[in-house]
Amino acid sequence: MLKMVVPFRTLKQARLSFTLLLSLGTAGAGWAFMYSGSQLPLTVKKISIDTLVNVDGESSEAFWQEAKEISVLTTGGANFIDGQTTVSIKAAANQFETYFLFRWKDATKSLAHLPLFKQNGKWVVRQNGFHHFDETTYYEDKFAVMISSTCGYGADGTAYLGRKPFKGKPENWHGKGYHASMDNRIRDLWHWKAVRTNDMFQADDNFFGPASTPRFGERRYTAGYLADGKDSGGYKMNWKWYSPHSVTPKRLPTEASLVTRPLAWFGSQPYQKTYDTLPEGSELPSVLYRSNQFEGDRANVRARGKWENGYWTLEVSRKHDTGSEHDVALEDGTCIWVSAFDHSQIAHTRHHRPIQLEYVQ
């Protein structure tokens, strides 16, 4: 049964009925529809500490066949058929870690991420919306999970609509709003990216906190959506300064045959005009790997996805309690929300009911 909820108090404090995440739905919406039921329970299967788990994007472990599965219809995304995809979810845990298995339909395996294209002797970024941070063509597939110790509907009170929902903070470019956690509680956010993090066997460990102080010179303000700290590692964009007209790559492959996606630090060299002998029409990756993986707080989430026959399967694991101030403990009663991205930057799917973890004792 659906019921209509009274209008939000103000657009500036709109608590979306949408679930996550980074796009915040349709700008200006003042009404929301919510499912009238309670949280959707997800039973976490208990496994032995001696059970070998290979986080490889496959459900080959025997316990995955035994774990209970729930399915959640997510809607409102870009590029999916009718903007929707159903996500199936399983969970298991040993004494120290929780494991998740997510599966969703995506007709295309999208690994093009803002490629650099040589045109008229210049390098340009292929994009269709990236200039205002809403790319929906030249982007990778992604998946996001928000984790909270509270279980409010929608995005658990973290989504704020409109072009300028926070007084004294910058406008957003796309007019859809921001995410922030303004109730002194951190919401954990795992952001798996098919190009930028998948080959690192990680998800980007992020969080929603209070709306941040704008930094001088930053082009994209993200309010409360922030990355956990890292000691080293990860990826960089392979251009010095972005412009829709042309960019200068940071690095070039030492040989044309060594173009990898992402471009590895080793096997590439700093850009110099004299080295730029790639022919017209060549492409370079926009993502530059500085090392194999994130290290530090941002590296707390292991993840690996595989696409086959029109479906992504994503396996994720994390310690129950990392001790980080930016992470939420995985325990009985913790709630999660999921969103899928079909080669889109922020236009993700969403669902209404929070999913509540139930650990078998």
Distance, in Å, from the CA atom of 97 to the CA atom of 316, rounded to the nearest integer, reads 10
Please report the pLDDT score of residue 15 as a whole number: 39
For residue 214 the two structure tokens come to 């704008």
Please report the pLDDT score of residue 255 as a whole number: 83
For residue 346 the two structure tokens come to 């922020």
Distance, in Å, from the CA atom of 358 to the CA atom of 289, rounded to the nearest integer, reads 38
Please report the pLDDT score of residue 69 as a whole number: 99
Please report the pLDDT score of residue 218 as a whole number: 86
Residue type, 301: V
Q: Do residues 267 and 260 touch, judged by C-beta distance below 8 A?
A: yes
Distance, in Å, from the CA atom of 87 to the CA atom of 318, rounded to the nearest integer, reads 20
Dihedral (CA of 207, 202, 335, 323) sign: negative
* pLDDT tens for each residue of the chain, 361 residues long: 333 333 333 333 333 333 344 443 333 332 233 344 589 999 999 999 999 999 999 999 999 999 999 999 999 999 999 999 999 999 999 999 999 999 999 999 999 999 999 999 999 999 999 999 999 999 999 999 999 999 998 789 999 989 999 999 999 999 889 999 999 999 999 999 999 999 999 999 999 999 999 998 888 999 999 999 988 888 999 999 999 999 999 999 988 777 788 898 888 999 999 999 999 999 999 999 887 799 999 999 999 999 999 999 999 999 999 999 999 999 999 999 999 999 999 999 999 899 999 999 8
Q: 2-212+240-359: what CATH class?
A: mainly beta
For residue 73 the two structure tokens come to 């219809």
Dihedral (CA of 264, 270, 271, 276) sign: negative
Q: What residues pair up with 318 in beta bridges, in sequence order?
A: 98
Q: Do residues 239 and 250 touch, judged by C-beta distance below 8 A?
A: yes
Q: For residue 271, with 0-12 CB atoms within 10 Å meaning exposed, 13-18 middle and 19 or more buried, which class applies?
A: middle
For residue 127 the two structure tokens come to 């994009």
Distance, in Å, from the CA atom of 286 to the CA atom of 236, rounded to the nearest integer, reads 8
Q: Do residues 357 and 318 touch, judged by C-beta distance below 8 A?
A: no
Nearest to 158 by CA among 178, 129, 134, 138: 178
Instruction: Determine which helix (DSSP H) or strand (DSSP E) holds 64, and give its type and residue range.
Output: helix 62-66
What residue segments make up the domains of the chain, in order of their start?
Answer: 2-212+240-359
Please report the pLDDT score of residue 89 as a whole number: 99
Distance, in Å, from the CA atom of 317 to the CA atom of 305, rounded to the nearest integer, reads 12
Within the chain, how many helices (H) and strands (E) appear? 1, 24
Q: Do residues 88 and 74 touch, judged by C-beta distance below 8 A?
A: no
Distance, in Å, from the CA atom of 133 to the CA atom of 115, rounded to the nearest integer, reads 15
